[in-house]
Structure 1
Amino acid sequence: MVGLWVVLGTLVLGLAAGAALRWRNGRIRTARPSATLPEPIARQLDPDTPVTLVQLSTTFCAPCRHTRALLSHLADRTDGLRHVDLDVTNQPEVAQQLGVLRTPTTLALASDGTELLRVGGVPRAEELLDALRPHFEKRPTG
């Protein structure tokens, strides 16, 4: 009888953990204050592009491929948005300096390097665009 309770308890804990991870996946979080950007990321910024999406990936990450396709498509169809994929497999210090614990993680950076937001996991396209829209509207015209 005790074995049955252990199995049921393990099942409930596993389901709760799975639900929590699923809820966090793709959720937009506020930016973390960062003193300086790591050089491999700072090199990717374009002063003429209001927002750069920097995707931190690893070599054997299956969700990273899906994220790459999604973000590339968004950048292609959105004026003022650029996508860069940075493989951190051989440069873990970059992920560590940014406080990134999983891949894919997407950072939305302003042209001056300010982190606007971050997404752990595969982003939800419309939510991401909605969150970034105010940063496109600040763009000077003329």
Structure 2
Amino acid sequence: MTGVWVLIGTLALASVFGLAWRSSRGRVRTAKSSSLPSELQKLVDPGSAVTLLQISTTFCAPCRHTRILLADLAGRTEGLQHVDFDVTDHPEVAQSLGVLSTPTTLAVDAQGVELMRVGGVPKRDTLLDALRPHLP
């Protein structure tokens, strides 16, 4: 009988952690760092108010969905640019930014200063609402 209670407790605990992790994905968070590595700094569009810098890997399925969503959002929004950077061969870049999973999207200003970040596939309306104060 003790084994059954251990199993039930383990499943309950795993469910709580899983739900907490799932709810954090796609949420807009404030910036963690202010400077970008040189590999990423050169990708920032100085003519755009905000560049959405997507950190991806080649084997990441949600990265494809994020790429489509962000490219569409940038195409429809004035002052917004989207760039994708694959860290598969550049793990040091992900490490320097504190990126632990892909996709991670960084919103940076024209000087390359990080404004906010999203882990996982962003929620379109939430991201757009968070970006509005930074857009023309």
| TM-score when normalising by structure 1 | 0.93
Deviations 1:58-101 (CA, angstroms, capped at 9, x unpaired): 11111111111110110111111010010000000101111111
Q: What is the aligned-residue RMSD (CA, Å)?
A: 0.8
Matched-pair identity in %: 61
1:82 match: secondary structure: strand
Amino acid in the other structure paired with 1:10: T
Counterpart residue identity of residue 131, structure 2: L
Q: CA deviation at 1:130?
A: 0.5
Alignment partner, residue 98 of structure 2: 99
Q: 2:33·2:97 contact (CA, 8 Å) conserved in 1?
A: no
- Is 2:57 the counterpart of 1:58? yes
1:12-45 deviation line (CA, Å, top 9, x unaligned): 01110110111100011001133x3111210111
Q: Distance between the aligned counterparts of 2:33 and 2:55, measured in 1?
A: 18
Tell me how far apart the structure 2 counterparts of residues 76 and 45 of structure 1 sit (CA, whole Å): 16
Aligned equivalent of 2:111: 112
- Taking the aligned partners of 2:65 and 2:37, their CA distance within structure 1 comes to 25
Match in the other structure for 1:31: 31
Unaligned runs of 5+ in 1: 138-142
Is contact 2:50–2:108 with CA below 8 Å preserved after alignment? yes
What amino acid maps onto 1:23 in structure 2?
A: S
Counterpart of 2:12 in structure 1 is 12
Is there any run of 5+ residues in structure 2 with no aligned partner, and where? none
Describe the superposition over 1:77-129 as per-residue Cα deviations: whole angstroms up to 9, x where unpaired: 11110100100000001011111111000000000111010000010001101
The one-letter amino acid of 1:68's match is R
Q: What is the aligned length?
A: 136
How high is the TM-score relative to the length of structure 2? 0.97
**CA contact under 8 A between 2:50 and 2:110: conserved in structure 1?**
yes
CA–CA distance in structure 1, aligned partners of residues 131 and 76 of structure 2: 14
Any runs of at least 4 consecutive aligned residues in structure 1 with deviations exceeding 2 A, and if so which? Answer: none
